Amino acid sequence: MIYNQVTLFSPKIITEAPDGVTFDVTNPLVVEKLPGSRAQIKIKPVKDTRVLDASELTRLSSSLDEVDHSLQQYLELETSQTALMNPGDHITYPGGKSFLMNPGAFGFTPRDTPDLGHGKFLGIGCQKSIRYIEGPKGPGNKRVGVVVDTKKTPFHSCLPMVETAAGIINLSNRPLGNLEVDHLKTAFIGLSAQTRHETPPRTITIHSFSTE
């Protein structure tokens, strides 16, 4: 199966069961959150029985309104499978963007992903897209190309909030002032954090800070 969160392609036509095929996708998170439960996905054949031929480029047209994007969508998804199926090594975003979670395992050095301070580091990755291009025999000889651009962007390190905050403001036993709170809001609002005093831990999204 070739898939992401919303789209799925099957390398073969699902004919084994008219009512669909069931897959057990129970993982440790399901067992932890819902003890004794199972997670299953049932895939049923779609009504559209057209088979996508990965070598079929005859439907391409210079008119954008007439272009069939099915092959392009499939190839976008297929070339993203390694990143999507290995969340421990990659983090993916819409638009074909993905970044390495452990760059050192792929030959990069600390100089490639330096610490930026304030609990941030420079993440390295790429943006990939599928483009239709003219083949070596000129007009009418179409090919599919994969365009890859390198990307770098700041990421927040996985650190205790107090440690991250200490790198932004001067923490002490006195109450925080409005200016310090504003600095914390700028740095943290919209980020997700995980509690450590609860079992199991709870994931929360930071929306605001208070001087109290």
**What is the CA angle 24-70-148, rounded to 5?**
90
DSSP 8-class letter at 206:
-
Most confident range, picked from 15-19, 54-58, 129-133:
129-133
User: Using one digit for the tens of pLDDT, what is the confidence trace for 71-130?
Assistant: 788 888 888 888 888 888 999 988 889 999 889 999 999 999 998 887 888 999 999 998
Looking at residue 52, its pLDDT comes to 64
Looking at residue 123, its pLDDT comes to 92
Report the C-alpha gap between 7 and 54 in whole angstroms.
Answer: 17
Report the C-alpha gap between 88 and 91 in whole angstroms.
Answer: 8
Q: Is the peptide bond before 200 cis (omega within 30 degrees of 0)?
A: yes
Looking at residue 151, its pLDDT comes to 93
pLDDT score of 195 more than 70: yes
Q: Are 142 and 56 in contact (CB under 8 A)?
A: no
Looking at residue 2, its pLDDT comes to 61
Q: Are 124 and 112 in contact (CB under 8 A)?
A: yes
E-only strand ranges, the chain: 2-3, 8-9, 21-24, 40-43, 90-93, 97-100, 115-117, 120-134, 142-156, 192-194, 203-205
